[in-house]
Structure 1
Amino acid sequence: MIASKPTILLVDDQPSNIRMLAEILKPHYNILIAISGIDGLKILKTTTPDLILLDIFMPNMDGFSFADKIHSIFSDKQIPIIFVSSAHDYESIQKSLNKGACDYILKPYDPKTLQIKIKKVLFKVEKSRFESSYIEGNKIMNTFFRGGVKSINHEMLYDWANNLIDIIMYAKDPLRAVLPCFKNTYDDPSHNVKVAILSVILGRTLNLKNIQLQDLAISGILHDSGKAYLPKDILDKLTSLDPIEFERVKQHSRKSYEVAKELGIHKVQILNAILHHHEKLDGTGYPDELVGYEIPLLSQILSVCDIFDALTTDRTYRPHFTTYDALKMMKTDMHHQLNEQYVNNLIALL
């Protein structure tokens, strides 16, 4: 699936200014046009653009008043604003920033500079959206790991998954935007969230349909939920697990499968993705020692993202690997276990 273009609302009373901006931006963005602040507010009642480019000097409602209206009426939308104006005085620039503007572009402007500034602002928006999604996912999974199945419900998970997919489908560079949100420290709740996010990002590169991305998000956020039922001394053990302990750990994928069913999730694709995320192409995985393409597609995606996150976070028994070393290990040492195309796609994203 190809990411949708971000939408930019142009608010300027001068047709020549609108035409110039639209000509520069249309190849890269969806453009909405308002020739007054009042028109702009009407558009915002039905549409939420990713960015507003706003003139200061307009009749009836100037740019500053328009910005005030946005913050008071549409505060929940948190739409970034860049002022584009011919006012060169310090007072206008400072007032724009005080009104919450992300940037201030002076007319006449260089088209390349304009594009760079817009890209920077939109990338910050992407990072902020990913951070919010990551935090929300962690809240859900921390609640589950403390309170069990009865503490959350599948509606929460689907709401979170659908919001995540929207963010990823609009993102120009999703992996670069989301990785700064992730910490090097490992814990089970955040690991589930990170694997879900990474899996949907990887799934997008494989042109999966929206419904498949939704299945990935749900299976990802629940893939290790069964670890909530394992003893802490096994999960946090500083040395290698003995055979009995390892057999107990291997049961977590079946338990995660059961957790999903207890939450009212009965879709076969999701349940199988969770159950088989530790299978390996060479048949050495668990729980069923599936070989090659006996392993569900979604499980193969989860496996790549699960291993990548596990390698790049600190564990009780070793420090984290760098992104480069983790991917090198996955590409060389694990090539017979992981789907090569999916690993290559992950490398290409980075």
Structure 2
Amino acid sequence: MREILTLLKSGNKPSLLAAIVNAFLGIIKGIAFFFTGNVAMFAEMMHSLGDAANQFFVFIGSALAKKSPTAQFPNGFGRLINLVCLGAVLIVGILSYETVKEGWHHFLSPATESNGMFIALGVLAIGGVMELIVLHKAAKEVLHEVGAEDGGFASIPKSVKYLKRAKPATKLVWMEDLVATSGNVLAFSAILIAYFTGFYRLEGLVSMIIGFMMFYVVGRVFLDNARGVIGETDQEMLNHIAHLVMAEPNVKDIVRLEVIKEGEFLHVELEAEADPKLSLAYLDDVRDYLTHLILSQKGVTEVVILFDEDDGQVSWQHIDEKPTS
């Protein structure tokens, strides 16, 4: 029990914050939908509840993924976060379908009036502000994870550039809250326009748009984490580590180098060639140095290094960029 509590303390904080915020918003949006019957509010309620559920599971998964390797699972639990994210998007997928379906029904048979407009608008305004706060927090976490400077109020647009390198849990929270913030704005606009123009089909149309945006998140997150479950190479870090290794005077060539993503972590396997005249004791010191050097790189948690004698031919041709600072 103590180990689980310790792991939970290291879980992804933005996902926990997002889960709490979205659970609260889902409840108040559900109450607003009960009193107003507004289909755009229904879409936002489903969206918030779906986000709350999967972000909570992602928080749990991100914590358990940090569990140390065991004899039964020697490679650790890093990819558990990818599996949890895959399960989480299934929930969003189901709710996306229900949102689109309800929006389509409302588009075909729109209401003749909009009830409780001010209740709906008030709830959506609160939701928009809170979602924006969570999105800003997730954006700052993205910048922190990649080692970029805090962008302050500009953190959200600045984080777009680094999103691909963010941890799976943080990336999911960022994408979901971007869609959630946009959904609040769309729903707010739809209710306001429908009230003043009488074009109540717009509420159904916006509900479908919100549902399709949710489907987009499902697709992106599914593809990203499916690659993570299979085992994806971190090409940028591979090039970086290759430069570090080839800078070691005792390394003549790289036979094989793999940098595999294990959830939030990186697993490195290196087979290098060295001068056959070097003693095993000396090569062991070189291995220790390279192991320490590679482990000091961001995200690397496991390194395996093998040496073979130099065959006089250079076979490593994969370096295409300078090491990052």
* TM-score, structure 1 normalization: 0.26
**Larger RCO of the pair (alpha carbons < 8 Å, separation 6+):** 2
Higher helix share: 2
